[in-house]
DNA sequence: CGCCAGGCCTGCACGC
DNA sequence: TGCGTGCAGGCCTGGC
């Protein structure tokens, strides 16, 4: 599913093709996403010029001068650019038609994604206004995480996945970052010491940055590619590896459920106690 | 054929 | 009382 690095990869792939382009129109093929696609969107978008593409958490923001098209890929969404308005595949719910003939298509079989419009400053949109800091920005630092986790009895894994604490760190990357930091996912967030908070900030950054770098290398055939840009192969330490040997120590990777989501960890590399040691 | 993953919002229950 | 916190429900379809 598209996580933060995939959204960033899609952004970087689309950016050179979209910025500065005029929008000729839009097509709503199926408005029933997580929220209905506003019926007036094609009229709103027509004749606007795309000024900038940005990302906030896993939201892709297309700034159109005075307003923002807000896109979310949910669990199964993809955005692709086509050189013409050729036959649309199944599950294409929304299309952005550029004046130069190019078409941006949102395909999302599970329809957990979103296409929304916000007039004015996008950071004021209700979905974006209360998000925590971006994990790759300076404001997400050791001190911030330490303060944000005080008196929180919930598991550190679930606190990191709380978008109000830090924005856009999904299930795969929190599992991987916790492994790298040597922290067990079920440890109460409030029990993390300052050193482990610092380590976790560092491994979250590393994990996301490496994934973005990998995605960047798959951008070459973004336009009209048969594949799914950003859907790159990845080498996970623990995610999806229950029952398999830890790549670091050989112990058997364990799986558990936290808040209806799967967590994976190495019982040897990730301690539940308060040491500040971490690996990698 | 039935189950289930999975992001992330909303709504509810609870305690200080 | 109000707010922060935690938990559960709901949306979907492809793949097993």
Q: Please give the Cα distance from A72 to A17 (Å, whole number).
A: 19
Q: What is the mean pLDDT of residues A210-235?
A: 57
Residues whose CB falls within 8 Å of the CB of residue A235, separated by 6 or more in sequence, listed in order? none
A15: confidence class by pLDDT, cuts 50, 70, 90: very high
Q: With contact defined as beta carbons under 8 Å apart, do A251 and A258 qualify?
A: no
At what angle are helices A142-149 and A194-216 packed, to 10 degrees? 120
Per cent of chain A over pLDDT 90 is 53
A227: confidence class by pLDDT, cuts 50, 70, 90: very low
Pick the more confident residue, A251 or A279: A251
SS3 content of chain A, % helix, strand, coil (to 5): 30, 25, 50
CA angle A96, A53, A77 (to 5 degrees): 55
Instruction: Give chain A's count of helices (H) and strands (E).
Output: 7, 10
Protein residue with the closest CA to the C1' atom of nucleotide C4 = A152
Q: How far is CA A128 from the centre of its chain?
A: 14
Strand, coil or helix: A172: helix
Protein residue with the closest CA to the C1' atom of nucleotide C9 = A260
Pick the more confident residue, A13 or A278: A13
pTM of structure = 0.91
Rounded CA–C1' distance between A256 and B3, in angstroms: 19
Q: With contact defined as beta carbons under 8 Å apart, do A148 and A139 qualify?
A: no
Please report the domains of chain A, with CATH numbers, ordered by start residue.
4-124 (3.20.190.10), 142-265 (1.10.8.50)
Q: Please give the Cα distance from A50 to A78 (Å, whole number).
A: 20
- pLDDT tens for A92-130 read 999 999 999 999 999 998 888 999 999 988 888 888 988
Q: Please give the Cα distance from A264 to A185 (Å, whole number).
A: 8
Question: Which positions on strand C lie below 7 Å from a protein C-beta?
Answer: 5-14
- Residues pairing with A36 in the sheet: A32
Token code pair at residue A201 = 């900030």
Rounded CA–C1' distance between A82 and C6, in angstroms: 44
Place of tokens 């670091």: A248
pLDDT in the model for residue A233: 56
Position A223 pLDDT exceeds 90: no
pLDDT in the model for residue A64: 93
Q: With contact defined as beta carbons under 8 Å apart, do A74 and A34 qualify?
A: yes
A91: confidence class by pLDDT, cuts 50, 70, 90: confident
Rounded CA–C1' distance between A32 and C10, in angstroms: 14
Which among A62, A8, A65, A10 is positioned nearest to A228, based on CA atoms? A10
pLDDT in the model for residue A276: 40
Position A277 pLDDT exceeds 70: no
Q: What is the mean pLDDT of residues A57-72?
A: 92
- pLDDT tens for A131-187 read 899 999 999 999 999 999 988 888 999 999 999 899 999 888 999 999 999 999 989
Token code pair at residue A189 = 């967030």
């Amino acid at each position: 599913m598209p996580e933060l690095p995939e959204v960033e990869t899609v952004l970087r792939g689309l950016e050179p093709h979209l910025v500065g382009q005029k929008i000729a129109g839009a097509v709503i093929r199926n408005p029933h996403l997580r929220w209905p696609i506003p019926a007036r969107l094609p009229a709103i978008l027509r004749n606007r010029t795309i000024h900038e593409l940005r990302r906030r958490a896993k939201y892709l923001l297309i700034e159109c001068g005075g307003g923002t098209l807000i896109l979310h890929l949910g669990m199964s969404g993809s955005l692709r650019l086509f050189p013409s308005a050729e036959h649309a595949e199944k599950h294409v719910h929304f299309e952005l038609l550029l004046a130069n003939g190019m078409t941006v298509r949102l395909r999302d079989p599970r329809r957990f994604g979103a296409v929304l419009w916000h007039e004015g400053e996008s950071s004021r949109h209700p979905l974006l206004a209360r998000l925590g800091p971006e994990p790759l920005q300076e404001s997400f630092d050791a001190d911030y995480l330490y303060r944000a986790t005080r008196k929180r009895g919930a598991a550190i894994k679930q606190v990191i996945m709380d978008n109000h604490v830090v924005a856009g760190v999904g299930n795969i990357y929190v599992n991987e970052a916790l492994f790298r930091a040597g922290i067990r996912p079920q440890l109460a967030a409030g029990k993390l010491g300052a050193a482990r908070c610092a380590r976790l900030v560092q491994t979250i950054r590393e994990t996301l940055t490496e994934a973005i770098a990998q995605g960047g290398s798959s951008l070459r055939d973004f336009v009209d590619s048969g594949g799914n840009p950003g859907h790159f192969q990845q080498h996970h330490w623990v995610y999806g590896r229950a029952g398999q040997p830890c790549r670091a120590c050989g112990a058997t990777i364990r799986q558990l459920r936290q808040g209806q989501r799967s967590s994976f960890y190495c019982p040897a590399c990730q301690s539940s106690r308060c040491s500040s040691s971490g690996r990698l």
